[in-house]
Amino acid sequence: MNEHKKKWIYLIVLSIIWGTSYILIKKGLEGFNPIQLGSVRIVLAALFLFMVGFKSLRTISKKEWFWVGVSGVVGSFIPMFLFAFAETEIDSSIASILNSLVPLFTLFIGLFVFGVGFTRNQLLGVVIGLLGAAFLIFFGTEVNPDQNYWYSGFVIIATICYASNANIIKNKLQDVSPMGIAAGNFAVILVPGIVILLFSGFLDEDVIAGPYFFSSLGYIVILCIMGTCVAKVMFNRLVQISTAVFSVSVTYLIPIVGIFWGVLDEEKFTLSQLFAALVILLGVYLVNKKKAPQRTPSFKR
């Protein structure tokens, strides 16, 4: 199978996995607080990754470890806590919608920090996709006026982290295997994750005896295996065989999956939100439509 077909398969599979992650976080918060959820995710994901990819750590050179560490912090450690805090106040579907900001930040970080060129179609696609996300958010505020949208700021910060990570992988870690990046990420953040977990009260008797402890832990295990381990390796490979902007276009499709699970969990969804989702898909098409790059002279290095 050629790489063009592979990248679209990865994009669709990742959208399903990560679109499901938000409802799993919501269910995990039934038994744990955000600090406990984020830290146990880090520890469990690290253990799963080490079981299948520990040997890949040997392939990372000394000069690459710095960027692997930065990638682990901004691409996994910080977002895991930010999304957990965000979903204490906003619906899982709203969190998945706000995640659509990632391609916009990816484009600008790639341009201003790494000097990556862009096409007019990419810029137009990002704008249209962002407009569709804005529609979804606006319609969501009408459907759920009692939600605290200040907590959406946690998701916005997380999207900046994800965008930075995509550019780091594309520009600094092209020669590291996807499994090596994933295992290396969690090798760096495992120790602080364990420290936070031990001081989070996760093992307190009242937490363990809670009615949702084991069900929430089960949801987190699924989240770690699929949403973190499997998806992270796939995403790293996707970045390597495509572009940073294409790879994070998965965030345009995630809201559709996230809203689907939200509706099943009795979160509201309207026809106006369906229209906004179609606008997002138009943005995805334009982002990936091939055309000769157009660099802005004033941004050249």
Higher pLDDT, 93 or 199: 199
The string over 186-198, giving b where at least 16 C-beta atoms fall within 10 Å of a residue's C-beta and e elsewhere, is bbbbbeebeebbe
Higher pLDDT, 193 or 272: 193
Would you state the structure tokens that stand for residue 188, as one six-digit string?
A: 């760096």
Separation of alpha carbons 193 and 39, rounded Å: 5
Averaged pLDDT, 149-171: 88
Higher pLDDT, 294 or 118: 118
Q: Which of 14-23, 109-118, 161-170, 183-192 has the lowest mean pLDDT?
A: 109-118
What's residue 35's pLDDT?
A: 96
Separation in Å, CA 4 to CA 147, 150, 173, 228: 41, 39, 21, 24
- Model confidence band, residue 29 (pLDDT cutoffs 50, 70, 90): very high
SS3 of residue 207 by DSSP: helix
Averaged pLDDT, 10-36: 93
Residue 2 backbone dihedrals phi, psi, to 5 degrees = -75, 165
What's residue 93's pLDDT?
A: 83
Separation of alpha carbons 79 and 87, rounded Å: 12
Separation in Å, CA 158 to CA 57, 64, 68, 109: 26, 23, 18, 14
What's residue 298's pLDDT?
A: 38
Mean pLDDT highest for which of 24-38, 104-118, 231-245? 24-38
Mean pLDDT, the chain, whole residue set = 85
Evaluate whether 159 touches 98 at the Cβ level (below 8 Å): yes
Averaged pLDDT, 203-211: 88
Q: What percentage of residues in the chain have a pLDDT greater than 90?
A: 37
Q: How many CB atoms lie within 10 A of CB 16?
A: 16
Q: What is the pLDDT of residues 260-301, one digit of tens each?
A: 899 899 887 778 877 877 887 787 677 666 554 444 443 343
Is residue 201 left, alpha or beta, with left meaning phi > 0 and alpha meaning psi from -120 to 50? Answer: left
Averaged pLDDT, 215-243: 87
What's residue 259's pLDDT?
A: 85
What's residue 269's pLDDT?
A: 74
Separation in Å, CA 189 to CA 221, 225, 241: 18, 17, 26
What's residue 288's pLDDT?
A: 61
Q: Shortest CA distance to 257 belongs to which of 6, 11, 3?
A: 11
Evaluate whether 76 touches 151 at the Cβ level (below 8 Å): no
What's residue 146's pLDDT?
A: 79
Would you state the structure tokens that stand for residue 82, as one six-digit string?
A: 């930010």
Q: Which of 67-81, 149-163, 275-289 has the lowest mean pLDDT?
A: 275-289
Element containing residue 245 per DSSP (H, E): helix 244-247
Provide the residue count of the chain. 301
Task: Give the 3-state secondary structure of 141-155.
Answer: HHHCCCCCHHHHHHH
Q: Is the pLDDT of residue 173 over 80?
A: yes
What's residue 291's pLDDT?
A: 52
